[in-house]
Copies of this chain bind each other. A is one copy, B any other.
Amino acid sequence: MSMITDRRDLDFLLYELLGAQELASRPRFAAFDREAMGQILDTAQALAEDVFLPIAAEVDAQEPQFVDGRVVQPEATGAALRAYADAGFFALPFAEEDGGIGAPWTLYTAASGMVVAANTPVSNYAFLTIAAANLLSAFGTESQKARFFPRMIAGEWFGTMCLSEPQAGSSLGDIRTRAVPKGDGTFAITGSKMWISGGEQAITDNIVHMVLAKLPDAPAGSKGISLFVVPKMRTDADGTITGPNNIALAGLNHKLGQRATTNCLLNFGESGETLGEMIGEPGRGLEYMFHMMNEARIGVGHAAVMAGLHGYLYSTDYARSRTQGRSLTDRDPASPMVPIIEHTDVRRMLLQQKTSVEGGLALSLYCSRLVDDAASHPDEGARKAALSRLGLLTPVVKSWPSEHCLEANKWAIQILGGYGYTRDYPLERLYRDNRLNHIHEGTFAIQGMDLLGRKIGGDQGAALRALIAEMRDTLSEATPNAALSADAAALARAVDALEAAATALTGCADVARRMANATVFLDAFGHVVIGWLWLRQAAVAQAALAAGPAETEARFYRGKLQACRYFSLHELPLAVTRLALCESLQSVPLDTPAALFDV
C-alpha cells in the first residue's frame, strides 16, 4: 500500500463528495475531465513515491549548512525538484495563456499534496515559487512578468516571500526594510529579513524574492508597506543574469523539523547596492499579499493534513503487521500474539487519526474547490458566495489541521511505541515537520482574530449565517435517515452551540472580551465544520451502501460511517463544551493581569 496517499479516499472526496469532475464543464477546465485528472494524480503519486519519499530521511539528516556565506545541501533536494518541474507541476495551476497548464486549484491541491505528504520540506521550494509567481502574475508589469514568470513556472528559478524581520513577525506593520527610489524605476533595498524559507539555496541560478519594504515617506504601520521584486542575481531586459544583487545570507536557522527547507536571515544592501522593482502601487503591499493568502493558507493546512495522512497510513500498516499481546478474553499465554490493530485502543488512535486526516482533507479540498468556484463558476452570485465562504473558512483550513493533524502524528508515534520514537521510522520526522504549521503563514492566534474580527465581524456575520444555513440543510436531509440520525443529532447540537456562541460574541461590545475568545472559538468552529463535512461524507457513503456495492467497496463506505460516528461521539461534544465557554463571554486569560505570572 502507498504511505502517502489513499487513492480510493481521494477519489471519494474529489468526485463523490465534491463533484470535481463537474469542473470540466467550464471552458477553461475542459481538458480536465476525470480521466485527465486521474493521469495527473498518477504522475504526482509516482513522483512522490519514487523521487520525494526515498530521500526524505536523508535530506532531513543532512541539514543544509552555512559555509562561507553560501548554502551546502544534498544534491537530492534539487534533483527531486527538477523532476517535479520537468513533469510540469510548477506550471500546473497557472493559466494556459500565461504559459501554465491551467489545472483547477482543486486538482493542484490534490496532486501536489502527494509530494507534500512524501517530503514537505523539499516540496516547500515549489510551494513558495508558485506563491511568488502567483503574485507576480497578478500584479507585476509585463516586463517584470517576462523576466521572471516563465522561469519560475518552469522551476528554473525559485521564488520566496520576504515578510518577517527579526523585530517584526506577526506585526508586519513594524517592518523596517527600506526601499529608496533611484529615479530610474528601481529602488535601493536595505534591511534584514528573517525566517525566509528558501531565501538562499544551492539549487537554482537565481532566486526571485517578493519583499515587503517601506518607501522613505511611507506612513507608519501597515499602510506604509509596499511590495518589491528583488532578485538574488540582477538580469538584463531579457532576464539574462548579469551579476549579483548583493543579498547576503547572514545565517541559517536550525529548526525542529522541515530541515531540508533552508530558512534564512537575509541582509539586503549591506555589502553593496541591492536593487528591486516595485510591484503595483505604493502602500498596497499587504493587500497584494492577501491576494494569495487564501491559497497559501490552504497550502499550509493541507501540508498539515498530508503529514497527518502519511502518519495515519504508516501506523495503520504497522498496526496490521505488528503482533503484541492477546485479546482481553484470551488468558492463555501460549496462544499466539495478535496484530495490535485487534486492541481496541489502537483502533481508537487510528480513528482519531482517520477523522482528523480525512476530515482535514475534505476541508482542504473543499476550500480548493471554493478557489475554483470563486474564480470560474459561471454564475456571478455563486462566485461571490464561494469567495465569501472561502474567506470565512481560510483561518479554519489553516489552523484546524495544524492542531489536529499534529495530534494525529502524536498518536501515530504512540501506535509504534518505542519504534515510533526512533528515527528509523518516519513518524517522528512528520511530527517535527508538522509542528511548524501552527506558526507560519499566520499563527493560531492570528487566525482566530482573522476569523472573529475580519471574517465574521467584517460582514456582520453574513458568511457565517450562510454556512450555518447550509449545515442545517445537510441536517434536514440526514436527520430522517436512520443510519445518520444519531450523527445528525450530534451535529445539530454543535451547530446550535456555534450559533449561540457567535451571537454572544458578535453582540459583545467589549472588543477585548470578544477577541479573548477568538482562538477557542476558532478551534471549536473548526470542529463543527469538520463535523459537517463528516456528516456529508457519511451521507454519500450511506447512499452508496444502499446500492449494494462489492465487499471491498462496502468496507470502505462502512469505514466512513464509523469515522463519522467517532467524530460525532468523541469530538463534537467537546466543541459544544468549548462553544458554551465562548457564549458565556468569560475569559480568565483576559482577567489575569501579566503581573500574576511573576516568578
A residues neighboring B (CB under 8 Å) = 1-2, 6, 8-9, 164, 167-171, 173-174, 194-195, 219-224, 253-257, 313, 316, 319-320, 323-329, 333-334, 337, 339, 341-348, 350-351, 354, 406, 410, 413-414, 417-418, 420-424, 428, 431-432, 435-436, 438-440, 443-445, 448, 511-512, 515-516, 518-520, 552, 555-556, 558-559, 562, 565-566, 569-570, 573-574, 576-578, 580-581, 584, 586-592, 594-599
- Would you give 13 A-B contacts (Cβ < 8 Å), ordered by A? A171-B325, A257-B421, A344-B587, A345-B518, A414-B438, A418-B440, A421-B439, A432-B432, A559-B596, A566-B589, A570-B588, A573-B581, A574-B574
For A220, give the chain B residue with the smallest CB separation: B333
Contacts of A342 in B (CB 8 A): 594
Selected contact of A594 from candidates B168, B339, B438, B566, CB within 8 Å: B339
Closest Cβ of chain B to A508, distance in Å, is 13
Contact A333 B594 (CB under 8 A): no
Contacts of A194 in B (CB 8 A): 418
For A438, give the chain B residue with the smallest CB separation: B414
Closest Cβ of chain B to A261, distance in Å, is 12
Contacts of A324 in B (CB 8 A): 168-171, 174
Could you tell me the distance between the alpha carbons of A174 and B324 in the complex, rounded to whole angstroms?
9
Question: When A and B form their complex, which 9 residue pairs have the shortest distance between CB atoms, in order from nearest?
Answer: A221-B333, A348-B589, A559-B596, A256-B428, A345-B445, A220-B333, A566-B588, A171-B325, A347-B589
Closest Cβ of chain B to A177, distance in Å, is 16
Closest Cβ of chain B to A65, distance in Å, is 14
Contact A439 B410 (CB under 8 A): no
Could you tell me the distance between the alpha carbons of A581 and B570 in the complex, rounded to whole angstroms?
7
Contact B573 A343 (CB under 8 A): no
Could you tell me the distance between the alpha carbons of A558 and B591 in the complex, rounded to whole angstroms?
11
Contact A169 B418 (CB under 8 A): yes
Selected contact of A343 from candidates B173, B256, B438, B445, CB within 8 Å: B445
Contact B421 A344 (CB under 8 A): no
Contact B351 A256 (CB under 8 A): no
Contacts of A590 in B (CB 8 A): 344, 347
Closest Cβ of chain B to A489, distance in Å, is 13
Contact B1 A596 (CB under 8 A): no
Could you tell me the distance between the alpha carbons of A587 and B345 in the complex, rounded to whole angstroms?
10
Contact A596 B414 (CB under 8 A): no
Contacts of A511 in B (CB 8 A): 328-329
Closest Cβ of chain B to A251, distance in Å, is 10
Selected contact of A573 from candidates B221, B406, B443, B580, CB within 8 Å: B580
Contact A435 B413 (CB under 8 A): yes
Q: Which of A319, A417, A587 has the most CB of B within 10 A?
A: A417
Contact A516 B344 (CB under 8 A): yes
Contacts of A552 in B (CB 8 A): 598
Contact B418 A347 (CB under 8 A): no
Question: How many copies of this chain does the complex contain?
Answer: 2
Contacts of A566 in B (CB 8 A): 588-589, 592
Contact A435 B418 (CB under 8 A): no
Q: A414-B438, A431-B435, A439-B418 are in contact. Are A592 and B339 (CB under 8 A)?
A: no
Contacts of A562 in B (CB 8 A): 588, 591-592, 596
Contact B424 A254 (CB under 8 A): yes
Contact B170 A417 (CB under 8 A): yes
Selected contact of A519 from candidates B345, B410, B596, CB within 8 Å: B345
Could you tell me the distance between the alpha carbons of A185 and B435 in the complex, rounded to whole angstroms?
54
Could you tell me the distance between the alpha carbons of A588 and B571 in the complex, rounded to whole angstroms?
12
Contact B588 A255 (CB under 8 A): no
For A519, give the chain B residue with the smallest CB separation: B345
Contacts of A333 in B (CB 8 A): 173-174, 219-224
Contact A414 B444 (CB under 8 A): yes
Contact B576 A334 (CB under 8 A): no
Selected contact of A417 from candidates B351, B354, B439, B512, CB within 8 Å: B439
Contacts of A431 in B (CB 8 A): 256, 435
Contacts of A423 in B (CB 8 A): 254-256
Contacts of A445 in B (CB 8 A): 343, 345-346
For A575, give the chain B residue with the smallest CB separation: B577
Contacts of A591 in B (CB 8 A): 562
Contact A439 B422 (CB under 8 A): no
Contacts of A413 in B (CB 8 A): 256, 435, 439
Could you tell me the distance between the alpha carbons of A122 and B269 in the complex, rounded to whole angstroms?
45
Closest Cβ of chain B to A305, distance in Å, is 16
Could you tell me the distance between the alpha carbons of A359 and B348 in the complex, rounded to whole angstroms?
27
Could you tell me the distance between the alpha carbons of A142 and B199 in the complex, rounded to whole angstroms?
66
Contact A170 B421 (CB under 8 A): no
Could you tell me the distance between the alpha carbons of A194 and B435 in the complex, rounded to whole angstroms?
29
Could you tell me the distance between the alpha carbons of A194 and B592 in the complex, rounded to whole angstroms?
48
Q: Which of A347, A421, A587, A590 has the most CB of B within 10 A?
A: A421
Contacts of A589 in B (CB 8 A): 344-345, 347-348, 350-351, 566
Contacts of A418 in B (CB 8 A): 164, 169, 194-195, 253, 439-440
Contact B594 A347 (CB under 8 A): yes
Contact B254 A334 (CB under 8 A): no
Closest Cβ of chain B to A120, distance in Å, is 14
Contacts of A253 in B (CB 8 A): 418, 422, 424
Closest Cβ of chain B to A522, distance in Å, is 10
Contacts of A173 in B (CB 8 A): 333
